[in-house]
Structure 1
Amino acid sequence: MEIKDLFLTPIYLIFFYALAYYFRPKVTNIYTKKYFIPALTLKYVGAISMGLIYQFYYNGGDTYNYFYHSWMINKAFAHSFATGWKLIMTSGGAYDPETAPFVASMFWYEAGSPEYLIARISALFGLVNFHTYSITALMFSSVSFSGMWAFYLTFVKLRPGAYKELAVALFFVPSLFFWGSGLGKDSLCIGALGWVFYAFYKGAIQRREVLQSAMIGFFAAYMLFLIKVYILLCFLPAALLWVFNENSSRIKNAVLRWISKPLFLGVGGALALFAATTLTKGDDHYDVEKIGERSKITADYIYEVSLKQEGSAYHLGELDGTIGGMVKLAPLAIVTSLYRPFLWEAKNPVMLLSALEALYFLLFTLRIFLRVGFLKTMTVITTTPVLTLSFLFSLIFAASVGVSTSNFGTLVRYKIPLIPFYLSALYILDDITRANAKAAKKPARKALQTA
């Protein structure tokens, strides 16, 4: 960060808040209105805090590498608008004599590089903010917040009685507003995931504004495809099952519903498999045929680096480079992603915060299961479509990132897409089970009064 950050950021903040107050009446109601500005403020706090911590605690990091690349692109604009525009419009890797002097020092200038995409978006924002890091980070946060608010509106429509708890799950979890804000991949991914979730609900479940929902969903899904396609691949099967469950409940005939269920599940599974293999075909990182091998390479590399740097490494077991080997480690990977690091595994303040969150997830989960009972809890989950979606996505995603990471510091960032789903599902589950318990007590009280 530079001196200009101190002078320009307050001016831009006033403008951003003015826009927020203008749009708030359009996207809130009497119950959700009070969370809009505080939630946005936390996103901004997270964005600035992440920049400061990376600058003064870590002495650099990916967020500043993105900014450096965007600075090179903006430098090209100073040389020639056409040259700068070429760098923004290209996906990287192509040689051009005009852009060569600038790309020579861009180590992320590769064809289809997600990192270079983030740099291009940052450079685009830089055109209207004098290429100021803090303002660019706030702009990333604003885009991310739009998706998070779409997340919130969707969950609130599905369970209006839990709007307070859902606000906590989506906006007030420290790792979510810290790692999910600012200049980086995670901000855009969590925002895009929120818009995909919103589009699925409005278009496929409510069947309202179908064309608009399809356009929103397609654009958000395309962003996930370009940046972190594995998030989309984990969400797609759960989303297809969600759509089926929501729509199958409208089939009044029990026999027809029973017959249609395996049919729709089979079609949904086939579509998910086709999408997974098609979207990732030829991708060195995410090709389904190579994913086991790639996960082993990534996990081993991160583990070795963590040990050399005395980082927070963890080891789940030996990966053999096959999907079967990943499946064997999936249960332990799920536990690791959701409930670790444990308190004694935290080696720095940031990790301690993550450990406290994980402990809360564990205690909250155990409280519900112990209070309601395992079978009753599972019955509620499997008969409530949004809970099936949320827990299924959380488990699939937890397994995938837990197996392939091997470092708690990295895992804290990688797992944030599952936090909105998992924690929101816990709050919805808690609300449903409490409501069921109250409803069960009423007949008993009436029977006693009659006796």
Structure 2
Amino acid sequence: MELKDLFLTPLYLGLFYGLAFALRKRFTNSITKKYFIPALSVKFLGAIALGLIYQFYYNGGDTYNYFTHVKLIYQAFVDSPAAGLKLIFAKAEYDPLTARYTGQMYWYNAPTEYFVARVGGFCALFCFGTYTIVSLFFALLSFSGMWAMYLTFLRIYPLAYKKLAIAVFFLPSVFFWGSGLMKDSLCMGALGWTFYGFYHLLIVRKNMLTALIMGGIGIYILMSVKVYILLSFMPPALLWVFNENNQRIKSAALRMLLKPLFIVLGLGAGYIGATNLTAGDDKYDVEKIGERTKINQEYLTTQATNGSAYNIGEFDGSPGSLVRVAPQAIIVSIYRPFLFEVRNPVMLLSALEATLFIYLTITLFYRTGLLKSFRLIAARPVLLFSFLFCIIFAIGVGTNSGNFGTLVRYKIPLMPFYLSALYIMQFMAQPQPRRAKPALRAQVNNARKLGRLATTE
């Protein structure tokens, strides 16, 4: 951070808040209005805090490596707008006009990392290349997707609007790691847009143009930055579509006939998507992902010098070993670190959230009963989708991380879905006052403009 951060940040915060208050009526109704500004505020807080932690606690790190590239793109634009634009839209090709800048970029040939730098470089054009304000732009992008995620959950189950706001916006790890100049901020926003687009386009079939645009942008960003999030999302989402449409078929015989067909189509689409999206990619090619997961786990474990490493068992990258370590990977991703495993402040934050997940999971299943809990999940397709997505994603990040320091960042996409699913189950398991439903439903249905984006009926 530099001196200009101190002078420009308050000015831009004022501009962003002014814009937020001006747009709030268009994106909210009487129920969601009170969460809009607080949710945006914690994103801004997370973006600023992330920069301060990396500067004064870690003494550098990924966010400053990204900003090094952002500064080079911004400087190129100052020297020559044509060179700056070429760097923003570059695809790792050699160009004499940009060579003196790309020669200083460590990640120029790394597509996923350079994508973040390109987005940051574009944002830098509007804020004089200032780190904190670029981070605030990333927080805004992330917030827009998280707000779309919240509206989608709210449309599915409006009675839990308070708890859903906590699950989506106010988990400390999510708004801290998912707000600054990092991959995670773009991915959280993109996941929210994808979730919104998928639900409105393929399930309720409303706001279809808005859903198509938002979902398309979200999928493109996930493919460009962390395609494994999309690969974890798609199979449960396709099953979700089948379950929703299966419930609408009145004939039991036809449902039984179509069920295996939809399952086969879903598995086929998932396989084709996985192989085509990742073919030739050294990081995510399905032919190499098991081997790379083993290498990453071993490297991160041996490099962990702060006592944050964990062991989920012997894993050699084969499908059989993946099945063996999957239960441990799920536990470590969702319910660990335990409080007695805490070694630093960042781990404490993650441990408190994991303890909340443990408490809510145990109390819910104990009070509701194991069989009734599974019946609730089976009865509500969104619950089945959410838990399956969390399980698949937890296995992936749990086997790939090797230590809690990286895991706390990797796992944030599953956290809003897991906690939201728990809260929805809570409300489904307890009797609801009948008189409150019509009034609440009327409030929820009071949508605003912009393609009825805030509709939650």
Report the TM-score when normalising by structure 1: 0.94
Q: How far is the alpha carbon of 1:323 from its aligned partner?
A: 2.5
User: How far does the alpha carbon of each residue in 1:11-68 deviate from its partner, in whole angstroms, 9 at most, with x for none?
Assistant: 1111101111111111111111100000100000000000000000000010011001
Matches within 5 A, 1:109-148: 109-110=108-109, 113-148=111-146
Contact 1:91 1:116 in 2 (8 A): no
How far apart, in 1, do the equivalents of 2:432 and 2:206 lie?
A: 30
**Counterpart residue identity of residue 59, structure 2:** N
Q: State the superposition RMSD in angstroms.
A: 1.4
**Counterpart residue identity of residue 98, structure 1:** L
Match of 2:221 in 1: 223
SS across alignment from 2:272 = helix
How far apart, in 1, do the equivalents of 2:133 and 2:96 lie?
A: 32
Matches within 5 A, 1:169-188: 169-188=167-186
How far apart, in 1, do the equivalents of 2:27 and 2:87 lie?
A: 36
How far apart, in 2, do the equivalents of 1:82 and 1:311 lie?
A: 48
Matches within 5 A, 1:16-27: 16-27=16-27
Match of 2:256 in 1: 258
Match of 1:323 in 2: 319
User: How far does the alpha carbon of each residue in 1:366-418 deviate from its partner, in whole angstroms, 9 at most, with x for none?
Assistant: 00111111111001101201100100000000011001110101000000000
Matched, 1:368 2:364: yes
How far apart, in 2, do the equivalents of 1:210 and 1:32 lie?
A: 22
Contact 1:291 1:323 in 2 (8 A): no
Match of 2:283 in 1: 285
Q: How far is the alpha carbon of 1:214 from its aligned partner?
A: 2.0
Q: How far is the alpha carbon of 1:310 from its aligned partner?
A: 2.8
SS across alignment from 1:289 = coil
Matched, 1:352 2:348: yes
How far apart, in 2, do the equivalents of 1:310 and 1:392 lie?
A: 32
**Counterpart residue identity of residue 267, structure 2:** G
Match of 1:302 in 2: 300
Contact 1:91 1:117 in 2 (8 A): no
Contact 1:333 1:399 in 2 (8 A): yes
Contact 2:35 2:165 in 1 (8 A): yes
User: How far does the alpha carbon of each residue in 1:167-192 deviate from its partner, in whole angstroms, 9 at most, with x for none?
Assistant: 00011110011011111100010110
Match of 1:81 in 2: 81
Q: How far is the alpha carbon of 1:327 from its aligned partner?
A: 2.0
Matches within 5 A, 1:230-241: 230-241=228-239
Match of 2:452 in 1: none
SS across alignment from 1:320 = coil
Contact 2:306 2:343 in 1 (8 A): no
Contact 1:54 1:61 in 2 (8 A): yes
How far apart, in 2, do the equivalents of 1:281 and 1:435 lie?
A: 50
**Counterpart residue identity of residue 62, structure 1:** D
Q: How far is the alpha carbon of 1:79 from its aligned partner?
A: 2.1
Matched, 1:98 2:94: no
Range with greater deviation from structure 2 (293-302 or 80-89): 80-89
Q: How far is the alpha carbon of 1:311 from its aligned partner?
A: 4.3
How far apart, in 1, do the equivalents of 2:213 and 2:151 lie?
A: 18
Contact 2:193 2:217 in 1 (8 A): no
**Counterpart residue identity of residue 356, structure 2:** Y
How far apart, in 2, do the equivalents of 1:215 and 1:38 lie?
A: 27
How far apart, in 1, do the equivalents of 2:162 and 2:433 lie?
A: 20
SS across alignment from 1:274 = helix
Q: How far is the alpha carbon of 1:436 from its aligned partner?
A: 7.6
Contact 2:194 2:215 in 1 (8 A): yes
Q: Which runs of 5 or more structure 2 residues have no equivalent in the other structure?
A: 435-457
Range with greater deviation from structure 2 (228-237 or 218-227): 218-227
SS across alignment from 2:287 = helix
**Counterpart residue identity of residue 360, structure 2:** F
Q: How many pairs align?
A: 435
User: How far does the alpha carbon of each residue in 1:111-157 deviate from its partner, in whole angstroms, 9 at most, with x for none?
Assistant: x5211111111111111101111111000000100000000000001
Q: How far is the alpha carbon of 1:269 from its aligned partner?
A: 1.1
Which protein is richer in helix relative to its size? 1
How far apart, in 1, do the equivalents of 2:44 and 2:224 lie?
A: 25
Contact 1:233 1:276 in 2 (8 A): yes
How far apart, in 2, do the equivalents of 1:281 and 1:150 lie?
A: 31
Question: Cα–Cα, structure 1 residues 254 and 157, in superposed 2: closer, same or farther, change >3 Å?
Answer: same
SS across alignment from 1:435 = coil
Contact 1:189 1:227 in 2 (8 A): yes
How far apart, in 2, do the equivalents of 1:49 and 1:384 lie?
A: 38
SS across alignment from 1:287 = coil
Q: How far is the alpha carbon of 1:353 from its aligned partner?
A: 1.1
How far apart, in 2, do the equivalents of 1:176 and 1:253 lie?
A: 43
Report the TM-score when normalising by structure 2: 0.93
Greater relative contact order (CA < 8 Å, ≥ 6 in sequence): 2
